[in-house]
Structure 1
Amino acid sequence: MGNLSIVIIVVIAANALISFKGFSDFSFFEKYKFNIGAIVRGEKIRMFSSGFLHVDTSHLFFNMFSLFIFADVVLVFLGNFKFLIVYIGSLLLGNLLSLYFHKEEHHYSAVGASGAVMGIVYAAILLQPNMSLYLFFIPIPIPAYIFGIGYLLYSIYGMKNRVGNIGHDAHFGGAIGGYVITLILAPWLFEKNLLMIGLLALPIILLFILKKLNKI
């Protein structure tokens, strides 16, 4: 279970402060949200700032609670500085994938820390693949790697079918960020968890094959 280290406190506080500012200040929210048209015009700060804005308190709470649950594993294995590299790198890669998939949709907008949080989730799964997760709708624990693979497959389905008002591509991009950055920061995983690395790579490869075939 999560532990309130100083790094987690700072990240959650930054998300809360910036999100609540956005809740009460429409012009602030509009200025810093992810928007394709504005980013193409040169407002690159939105690639970063949008990861600290949220639609409402439930959106903020869900992301921060998910971060709280998984952050400890990453902190224990990688330490504070590398945790931040994974978090910020995943945030940016999540938004880069959104930009790639929606580059022709200049009206497309999004906010939320989901990409960064998914990066931390996938880093934690790589670092401790045998940990068990309890999901609200499944009464028995499931291995983290099963959740990881299943969630990426669902994200592909969500991207293909535009399911809900959810940035599935940002989630997927964040997961790729967590996966790749963690392997760079912890190369010893190739000796210890090579099978797990291969299994988690399968949905990522599938996404880019489908994109290449114009199936998504």
Structure 2
Amino acid sequence: MNTIVIIVIAVTCIISYLALNDMRMFEKYKFNVGAIQQRKEYFRLLTAGFLHADFMHLALNMYVLYMFSPAILNSFGVSGFLIIYIVSILLGNLFSLLIYKNQAWYSAIGASGGVAGIIFASVSLNPALSEIGIIFIPFVRIPGFIFGLLYFGYSVYSMLKPRSNDNIGHAAHLGGAFFGLIYTIIIYPENAVQNMVYLLIMSLPLIYLAYEIFVRKRIG
């Protein structure tokens, strides 16, 4: 495992821990539509990716990031990994800003956008090698595209269910996943074409989310 992944995880864990114990810091750096639109605090588009709602939210995102990173590092190197992760966080939160632009109260946190980008890029490259062990039962392995289907399915459910207010950036998954996929298509188009069936299966929850947002206008 490349040192850069450990550094990203360590920095995220430290910042998340500090923010969970300092609500002023948490409020200052979380994603908030009103603060971004009215006070032009665009830094929140990035800093929100280093905050988490609780330990389980942090642990899940960092574990998934750790498990899906090797394929990215092997194919794109450190710079490619950082580009996918950081830009996916930014685009994920920009997408959230777009769909919640009329809800100034809306807030969210989490590395979900960046993790979504890493998952999509990894499966695009090689779904056979993209797999993840269940936490505490690492010998049970789940194919990456199946895990992605479940991961995004839960996120879409959490985002669309009535009175959802967990402050986790579920909406960021769509923007992050889009960038991870597009980046891989640009660099390795043949891989993405060969693995299109796996990507389509994994994308089903996000396709449904896009339908709810852009066709039914259920959100925003």
- Asked if TM exceeds 0.5, the reply is yes
The aligned residue for residue 180 of structure 1 is 182
Residue in 2 aligned with 1:31? 28
Partner residue in 2 for 1:79: 77
Cα 1:58–1:147 shift into 2, 3 Å? closer
One-letter code of the match for 2:194? K
Q: Output the CA distance in 2 between the equivalents of 1:140 and 1:22.
A: 34
**Which residues of structure 1 form unaligned runs of 5+?**
none
- How far did residue 135 of structure 1 move? 4.0
Identity percentage over the alignment? 42
Distance 1:186 1:167, change over 3 A: same
Q: After alignment, is 192-201 or 80-89 more displaced?
A: 192-201
- Residue 146 of structure 2 aligns to a residue in which SS? helix
Deviation at 1:45, TM superposition (A): 0.6
1:73/1:124 contact within 8 Å kept: yes
Deviation at 1:69, TM superposition (A): 1.2
In the alignment, the residues of structure 2 paired with residue 23 and residue 205 of structure 1 have an alpha-carbon distance, to the nearest angstrom, of: 33
Q: Distance in 2 between matches of 1:157 and 1:21?
A: 29
How many angstroms apart in 2 are the aligned matches of 1:182 and 1:34?
A: 27
TM-score, normalised on structure 2?
Answer: 0.82
Question: How far apart are residue 8 of structure 1 and its match?
Answer: 0.7
Amino acid at match of 1:182: T
How far apart are the structure 2 equivalents of 1:142 and 1:24?
34
CA distance 1:156–1:80, change in 2 (3 Å): same
Q: Is the 8 A contact 1:176 1:204 kept in 2?
A: no
RMSD (CA atoms): 2.7
Gaps of 5+ in 2: none
Query: How many residue pairs are counted as aligned between the two chains?
Result: 213
Query: Quick one: distance in 2 between partners of 1:94 and 1:194?
Result: 22
Deviates more, 1:101-110 or 1:203-212: 203-212
Q: Distance in 2 between matches of 1:202 and 1:210?
A: 13
